[in-house]
Amino acid sequence: MAIGGYQGKSDAELTAEVEWYLEAGIAGCKMKVGGRGLTPEEDARRFIVMRKAGGEDFVLMADANQAYTVNEALRFVRLVEGHNLRWFEEPVHWYNDRRAMREVRVKSGIPVAAGQSENSRVGALDLIEDGAVDICNFDSSWSGGPTEWRKVAAVAQAHGVEMGHHEEPQISAHLLASIPHGTYVEIFHPDRDPLFWNLIANRSEIKDGMYPLPTGPGWGLELDESYIKKHRTE
């Protein structure tokens, strides 16, 4: 799953981006909405551009990074109705996030994702127990490592909440594959994250939306020493 669809791109650029994802075998995209003064109407139009470029089987989410009010978030959802929004991530401002996100998910019927901004299992548990999320994308690299992430995943499973992982494909692939309620491995376009595409010498080939787990000791990854040497500074 790619993270992309950034604000400021033209319709042609958004279309070309989706076409690149399809060519690369990537299953979908979590596109950015909100911010930079964009209205829900403009964001919905951009979403529909990407949906048309990807087709109905292309998985498409929206990530507002806490940019909308509740009413704006609900307006966006209504505007993209019928265009298969997989989930809405961090849809509202963070001052009263749990109640506000619960309101968005209940009133819209669209799954809400959040959790990357929490740095403890207690914070993630609050989101889950208060009915604020359908998907918890807790970040193990920020918040205590793989063991802590799996504890949050166990709580999520008990509450019928899916698990994601905020970015970090070198870690998240193994963690998401280790549980029955995992969702998508998140990656970036090579322009945004050249390291994932170039630093790993034995990176698995993405095909038909699937990323085979690396094998071998540890995370199973081997680094490309020539790439490291090329970018080393004294």
CA distances from 216 to 51, 116, 152, 164, 172 (A): 38, 28, 26, 24, 16
- So what's the pLDDT on residue 182? 97
Residue 227 lies in a domain: no
Residue 110 lies in a domain: yes
CA distances from 223 to 51, 88, 193, 199, 227 (A): 36, 35, 15, 6, 8
Residue 234 lies in a domain: no
At how many degrees (to 10) do helices 145-158 and 121-129 cross? 10
Alpha-carbon gap, residue 198 to 45, rounded angstroms: 34
Alpha-carbon gap, residue 136 to 122, rounded angstroms: 13
> Per-residue pLDDT for the chain (234 aa), expressed as one digit of tens each?
999 999 999 999 999 999 999 999 999 999 999 987 789 999 999 999 999 999 999 999 999 999 999 999 999 999 999 999 999 999 999 877 899 999 999 999 999 999 999 989 999 999 999 999 999 999 999 988 999 999 999 999 999 999 999 999 999 999 999 999 999 999 999 999 999 999 999 999 999 999 999 888 889 999 999 999 998 887
Per-residue buried b or exposed e for 117-155, using 16+ beta carbons within 10 Å of the residue's own CB: bbeebebbbebbeebbbbbbbbbbebbbeeebbeebbeb
Number of structural domains found in the chain: 1
- So what's the pLDDT on residue 113? 98
Residue 153 lies in a domain: yes
**232 exposed, middle or buried (CB, 10 Å; 0-12, 13-18, 19+)?**
exposed
- Output the pTM of the full model: 0.93
- So what's the pLDDT on residue 19? 98
Residue 56 lies in a domain: yes
Residue 205 lies in a domain: no
Residue 72 lies in a domain: yes
- So what's the pLDDT on residue 31? 97
Residue 229 lies in a domain: no
Query: What CATH number should be reported for the domain holding residue 142?
Result: 3.20.20.120
The tokens of 42 are what? 């403009």
Which residues form the domain of 156?
2-190
